[in-house]
Structure 1
Amino acid sequence: MASILMSAMPFAGHVAPVAAVARELVRRGHDVRVHTGSAYATTFADAGATPVPWRHARDFDERDLAATFPRLRDRKGARQMIANVQALFLGTAAGQCADLHDEFRRRPWDLVAADSLALGARFAAELSRRPRVALSVVPLAIPDRDAPPPFLGLDPLPGPVGRLRDAALWGALEVATTPLRRAYGRARRDAGLGPTPERLDEVWLGGDDVVASGVPALDRRESWPGLARFVGDIAWEPGGAVSPRPARLPDWWHDVRTAEVPVVHVTQGTYNVDPHDLILPSVEALAGRDVLTVVGLAPRTPPLPGPLPANARVATMLPYDELLPRTAVVVTNGGWGGVLAALRHGVPLVVAGGDLDKPEIAARVQRAGAGVNLRTGTPTARQVRDGVGQVLTHGRYAAAAARIGADLRAAGGAPAAADAIERHLP
Structure 2
Amino acid sequence: MRDVLADGHGRGRHVAVFNVPMHGHVIPTLAVVRELVDRGHRVSYAVTAEFADSVRAVGATPVLYDVPPAGEAPEDMAEGVTLAVGVNVMALPQLEQAFAGDVPDVVLADVYAWAGPLLAARWKVPAVQLAPTHIPYEGLVEEFFGLEDISQIPGFTELSGELAHFGVPGGVHALTLAPPRTVAFFPRSFQRRPETVRAGEAHWVGPAISERSFQGSWRRPAGDKPVVYVSLGSQFNKRPEFYRACLDAFQGQGWHVVMSVGAEVAAAGLGKVGDGFEVHASVPQLDVLASASVFVTHGGMGSLMEAFSLGVPVVVVPQMAEQRVNAAQVEKLSAGRHLPREQVTPQALREAVRAVAGDGRIAGCVARLRREIEEAGGAVAAADVVEKVLADTPMVTG
Classify the TM-score, shorter chain: 0.7 to 0.9
Indicate whether 1:186 and 2:161 are aligned. yes
Map 1:9-48; keep pairs closer than 5 Å: 9-48=20-59
Conserved? CA contact 2:21–2:51, under 8 Å: yes
Report how many aligned residue pairs link the two structures: 377
Cα distance, 1:114–1:381 mapped onto 2, change above 3 Å: same
Unaligned ranges ≥5, structure 1:
66-71, 153-168
Deviations 1:327-378 (A, max 9, x none): 1100011122111101100100000002252111111111111011112277
The residue number in structure 2 matching 1:267 is 231
Cα distance, 1:414–1:175 mapped onto 2, change above 3 Å: closer
State the structure with bigger RCO (CA 8 A, min sep 6), 1 or 2.
Answer: 2
Secondary structure of the equivalent of 1:270?
coil
Deviations 1:389-417 (A, max 9, x none): 22123221121111111111221212211
The residue number in structure 2 matching 1:417 is 382
- Of 122, 143, 149, 2:137 maps to 143
Indicate whether 1:353 and 2:318 are aligned. yes
Once residues 298 and 210 of structure 1 are traced to their aligned partners in structure 2, the CA distance between those partners, rounded to angstroms, is: 32
Shift of 1:226: 5.5
Unaligned ranges ≥5, structure 2:
1-11, 394-398
Map 1:1-16; keep pairs closer than 5 Å: 1-16=12-27
- Of 63, 82, 85, 1:86 maps to 82
- Of 279, 286, 291, 1:314 maps to 279
Conserved? CA contact 1:96–1:121, under 8 Å: no
**With structure 1 as the length reference, what TM-score do the two structures score?**
0.81
Shift of 1:299: 3.4
Shift of 1:212: 0.5
Once residues 377 and 129 of structure 1 are traced to their aligned partners in structure 2, the CA distance between those partners, rounded to angstroms, is: 49
Task: Look up the equivalent residue of 2:95 and give its one-letter code.
Answer: L
Cα distance, 1:206–1:226 mapped onto 2, change above 3 Å: closer
**With structure 2 as the length reference, what TM-score do the two structures score?**
0.86
The residue number in structure 2 matching 1:157 is none
Once residues 383 and 186 of structure 1 are traced to their aligned partners in structure 2, the CA distance between those partners, rounded to angstroms, is: 49
Task: Look up the equivalent residue of 2:18 and give its one-letter code.
Answer: S
Conserved? CA contact 1:265–1:294, under 8 Å: yes
Indicate whether 1:325 and 2:290 are aligned. yes
The residue number in structure 1 matching 2:185 is 213
Task: Look up the equivalent residue of 2:207 and give its one-letter code.
Answer: D
The residue number in structure 2 matching 1:69 is none
Compare 1-10 and 301-310 and name the one that shifted more.
Answer: 301-310
Shift of 1:18: 2.0
Once residues 361 and 122 of structure 1 are traced to their aligned partners in structure 2, the CA distance between those partners, rounded to angstroms, is: 26
Q: Percent identity?
A: 26
Deviations 1:49-107 (A, max 9, x none): 1111114xxx1335x25xxxxxx7xx5x4xx32221112x2122233332332233211
Shift of 1:290: 2.2
What do you get for the CA RMSD once the two structures are aligned? 2.6
The residue number in structure 1 matching 2:110 is 115
Shift of 1:14: 1.1
The residue number in structure 1 matching 2:216 is 246
Once residues 346 and 27 of structure 1 are traced to their aligned partners in structure 2, the CA distance between those partners, rounded to angstroms, is: 28
Task: Look up the equivalent residue of 2:102 and give its one-letter code.
Answer: R
Conserved? CA contact 2:107–2:125, under 8 Å: yes
